[in-house]
Amino acid sequence: MAQKPEQASISKALEVATLAAGCFWCTEAVFDQLKGVVKVESGYSGGNVPNPSYEEVCTGDTGHAESIE
């Protein structure tokens, strides 16, 4: 079945979402398996320490949240 022109352009568009939900390794694994998800990257959102390490974020002192995009 042929798609309408507006449907074809919508299906080719990519959108980005940033989500924070606890451990980013677990969240990344779940979203990586979802149909339609092209790429999942782990990182940190917010915070007040530039370029924190994983260990620093885990202390809770940097203000960052583990997140995926």
pLDDT in tens, 3-62: 455 555 555 788 999 999 888 888 999 999 999 899 999 999 999 999 999 999 999 999
- State how many domains the chain has: 1
In a domain, 31, yes or no: yes
- pLDDT at position 10, please? 55
In a domain, 6, yes or no: no
- pLDDT at position 18, please? 92
In a domain, 63, yes or no: yes
In a domain, 4, yes or no: no
Active site residues: 23
In a domain, 56, yes or no: yes
- pLDDT at position 44, please? 92
In a domain, 27, yes or no: yes
Domain range for 41: 17-68
Burial 47-61 (b: 16+ CB within 10 A, else e): eeeeebeeeebeeee
In a domain, 28, yes or no: yes
1 has a pLDDT exceeding 50: no
In a domain, 45, yes or no: yes
